[in-house]
A and B are shown apart, each in its own frame.
Chain A
Amino acid sequence: MIRFDQVTKLYAGNSRPALNSVTLEILKGEFVFLVGASGSGKSSFLRLVLKEENPSKGRIHVLGQDLGRLTSRKVPYFRRNLGVVFQDFRLLPQKTVFGNVAFSMQVIGKSKGFIQEAVPDVLKMVGLAGKASRLPHELSGGEQQRVAIARAIVNKPAILLADEPTGNLDPSTSAGIMTLLERISSSGTTVIMATHDAGIVDQMKRRVIELVSGQIVRDERQGGYQTQAIPLQASPRESSDGLAHTHDPVPQSQVPTATTPAPVRRFAP
């Protein structure tokens, strides 16, 4: 489904690569957490999958297509197979919930009749039935993220990319969003979620890929946010460059180590 082959991504004017010789494979229907500090390469990874960026070295295959050989004319058609959700929702403020979801179908030329049928269905699936005519600012953060998810999945993508989808939400709302993502995953969609939310990762027990300074340091089936098995190899180096865990809710001195498990948050049902 997604295969990275020795992929290195260097941004201009930065000698340290954002991704350094990353090789991995993600299979159909998998639910993958991408964890790591800010600047560890999670977003670069997602951008490479979307072909918003091209790798400096290495090859990327997504959905059986070699992204290096995809002409820019074909990129839009390739992207119709991917859905994307962001931390900041990115809804169109002047369009209603229905309009926001319908927009992503209109612009790829879906018929009016089909849109009228598909949008209420997907809104019902994400739990927003009856709120179709609301404007985004009339909704709570969790509801706005549900609209964004509805927009991402309404075209039935094979892969859903989520870049910290719960970053702006409180724990109980986050849990609701995770339940929704789990349901989407169980219907066969591959879900890749970049996150800092230790509680969610620990509770879900899914595949976890941890990036440190652009390198994969851990790829664990049914893993947690912090590993119980291998020590954190790159911790000292990371602390020295001042990027480490600035996003972390716990102070630096209390960063859990391999021997002290991370505090597990409880989800509201």
Chain B
Amino acid sequence: MRFGLIMSEVGNGLRRNITMVISVILVTFISLTFVGAAILLQAQIGQMKGYWYDRAQVAVYFCTASSVGECNLVEATPDQKNFVEAQLQSPGLAALIDRYEFESHEQAYARYQEQFSDNEFADFVSPEFLNEAFWVNLNDPTQSDALVESLSGLAGVEEVKDQRKYLDPIFAALNAASFTAIGIASLMLVAAVLLIATTIRLSAFSRRRELGIMRLVGASNRFIQTPFILEGVIAALIGSVLAAGAVLAIVRFFVQGYLGSTLQTTTAVIGMSEALLVAPILLLVGVVLAAASANVAISRYLKV
């Protein structure tokens, strides 16, 4: 009986305020879509980091006859190479290193030919131009500094390069995009919260006679406020469901469909599993924000 009464009050309120309710739905929809996009971008960054950092190596390049600078156009000697290898096996560094392998001029040339087969330069490159190198896989990719510091400047070493450095600008760009999304999302969420509060006040104002009588005859505060809170929550929930649907659609059709087919080689894109994790977060955020702001908005009408 009471439940039915409350639900019919909710229905009346929603119908009476239909334009405001639609704007609440749209604003929550858009703001939560941005929230979802920001979360997905962070997930994407995390996934890419995991993917690339596992593959990223530290390269210890040896001097070639054409290297300038420290090398002075002198090819690294076998002794120098052996000394560097001894360093890699020394107790200080060995603990950090998962494995390492030596790449000769010929191996470097073969890899170069393979990677740049469709590039005209490939024809002008000969094996002796390409550095011999140790390719080092670290246990923890973030600890590359120790390796770079201890091996740079050794005789015959041209450069020690952490491949992760190449990726940092990409992550910085993605991070900036996700912070932008979070910024827009929080502005929109503020708008959504204020709009819900206004909608509920309007709804309460249009029912002030009923509210006055309810208070007079002793309806409990919970009974009075529940329909209004439900009203806000239902409107926000519809917006959240739309936002969750939008996030799922973005992942399904844009990320997996479009990006997935254009970036076939780099498989590190997020999938539906991440999107399905984000959807309930959006629903929860929408409902909690709506309930809180409706609660604050209606409390003025409950003062006894």
Could you tell me which A residues sit within 8 Å of B by CB distance? 50-52, 72-73, 75-82, 84, 90, 92-93, 103-104, 106-109, 111-112, 151, 155
Select which of A50, A77, A93 is within 8 A of B220 by beta carbon: A77
Is B304 within 8 A of A107, CB to CB? Answer: no
Could you tell me which B residues sit within 8 Å of A by CB distance? 1-2, 5, 209-210, 212-221, 223-224, 303-304
CB of B2 to closest CB in A, whole Å: 5
Residues of A within 8 A of B223 (CB): 107-109
CB of A56 to closest CB in B, whole Å: 17
CB of A76 to closest CB in B, whole Å: 4
Which residue in chain B gives the minimum CB-CB distance to A72?
B304
Q: Could you tell me the distance between the alpha carbons of A85 and B304 in the complex, rounded to whole angstroms?
A: 18
Is B217 within 8 A of A109, CB to CB? Answer: no
CB of B6 to closest CB in A, whole Å: 10
Select which of A75, A92, A111, A112 is within 8 A of B213 by beta carbon: A92
Q: Could you tell me the distance between the alpha carbons of A80 and B223 in the complex, rounded to whole angstroms?
A: 14
Is A108 within 8 A of B212, CB to CB? Answer: no
Select which of A78, A93, A106, A111 is within 8 A of B218 by beta carbon: A78
Q: Could you tell me the distance between the alpha carbons of A114 and B196 in the complex, rounded to whole angstroms?
A: 37
Is A80 within 8 A of B1, CB to CB? Answer: no
CB of A100 to closest CB in B, whole Å: 9
Residues of B within 8 A of A51 (CB): 304
Is B209 within 8 A of A76, CB to CB? Answer: no
Q: List 19 A-B contacts (CB under 8 A).
A: A72-B304, A73-B221, A76-B219, A76-B304, A80-B218, A81-B218, A84-B216, A92-B213, A103-B213, A106-B2, A107-B5, A107-B217, A108-B217, A108-B218, A108-B219, A108-B220, A109-B1, A109-B223, A151-B217
**Which 5 A/B pairs are nearest by Cβ-Cβ distance?**
A79-B218, A80-B218, A107-B219, A104-B217, A75-B304
Is B210 within 8 A of A76, CB to CB? Answer: no
Residues of B within 8 A of A76 (CB): 215, 218-221, 304
Q: Could you tell me the distance between the alpha carbons of A43 and B218 in the complex, rounded to whole angstroms?
A: 19
Q: Could you tell me the distance between the alpha carbons of A151 and B214 in the complex, rounded to whole angstroms?
A: 11
Question: Assuming the A-B contacts A78-B218, A80-B217, are A90 and B304 also in contact, with contact meaning beta carbons closer than 8 angstroms in the complex?
Answer: no
Is B212 within 8 A of A90, CB to CB? Answer: yes
Q: Could you tell me the distance between the alpha carbons of A103 and B303 in the complex, rounded to whole angstroms?
A: 21
Q: Could you tell me the distance between the alpha carbons of A104 and B212 in the complex, rounded to whole angstroms?
A: 11
Question: Assuming the A-B contacts A75-B304, A76-B219, A77-B220, are A107 and B214 also in contact, with contact meaning beta carbons closer than 8 angstroms in the complex?
Answer: yes
Residues of B within 8 A of A108 (CB): 217-220, 223
Is B2 within 8 A of A109, CB to CB? Answer: yes
Residues of B within 8 A of A151 (CB): 213, 217
Q: Could you tell me the distance between the alpha carbons of A77 and B219 in the complex, rounded to whole angstroms?
A: 8
Is A112 within 8 A of B1, CB to CB? Answer: yes
Residues of A within 8 A of B210 (CB): 92, 103
Can you name 18 extra interface pairs (CB under 8 A) apart from A73-B221, A106-B1? Answer: A51-B304, A72-B304, A75-B304, A76-B304, A78-B218, A79-B216, A79-B218, A93-B209, A103-B210, A103-B213, A107-B223, A108-B217, A108-B219, A108-B223, A111-B1, A151-B213, A155-B217, A155-B218
Q: Could you tell me the distance between the alpha carbons of A112 and B212 in the complex, rounded to whole angstroms?
A: 22
Q: Could you tell me the distance between the alpha carbons of A85 and B64 in the complex, rounded to whole angstroms?
A: 103
Residues of B within 8 A of A155 (CB): 217-218
CB of B136 to closest CB in A, whole Å: 69
CB of A154 to closest CB in B, whole Å: 9
Of A50, A51, A79, A151, the most chain B CB neighbours within 10 A belong to: A79
Is B215 within 8 A of A79, CB to CB? Answer: yes
CB of B237 to closest CB in A, whole Å: 25
Of B210, B219, B223, the most chain A CB neighbours within 10 A belong to: B219
Residues of A within 8 A of B1 (CB): 106, 109, 111-112
Q: Could you tell me the distance between the alpha carbons of A52 and B218 in the complex, rounded to whole angstroms?
A: 12
Q: Could you tell me the distance between the alpha carbons of A76 and B303 in the complex, rounded to whole angstroms?
A: 11
Residues of B within 8 A of A72 (CB): 221, 303-304
Is A52 within 8 A of B217, CB to CB? Answer: no
Q: Could you tell me the distance between the alpha carbons of A85 and B216 in the complex, rounded to whole angstroms?
A: 10
Question: Assuming the A-B contacts A103-B213, A104-B213, A109-B2, are A77 and B304 also in contact, with contact meaning beta carbons closer than 8 angstroms in the complex?
Answer: no
Of B213, B218, B224, the most chain A CB neighbours within 10 A belong to: B218
Of A50, A51, A108, the most chain B CB neighbours within 10 A belong to: A108
Residues of A within 8 A of B215 (CB): 76, 79
Residues of B within 8 A of A77 (CB): 218, 220
Which residue in chain A gives the minimum CB-CB distance to B219?
A107
Q: Could you tell me the distance between the alpha carbons of A103 and B223 in the complex, rounded to whole angstroms?
A: 13
Question: Assuming the A-B contacts A72-B304, A111-B1, are A90 and B218 also in contact, with contact meaning beta carbons closer than 8 angstroms in the complex?
Answer: no
CB of A149 to closest CB in B, whole Å: 13
Residues of A within 8 A of B2 (CB): 106, 109
Residues of A within 8 A of B212 (CB): 90
Which residue in chain A gives the minimum CB-CB distance to B214?
A107
Question: Assuming the A-B contacts A51-B304, A111-B1, are A79 and B217 also in contact, with contact meaning beta carbons closer than 8 angstroms in the complex?
Answer: yes
Residues of B within 8 A of A106 (CB): 1-2, 5
Residues of B within 8 A of A104 (CB): 213, 217
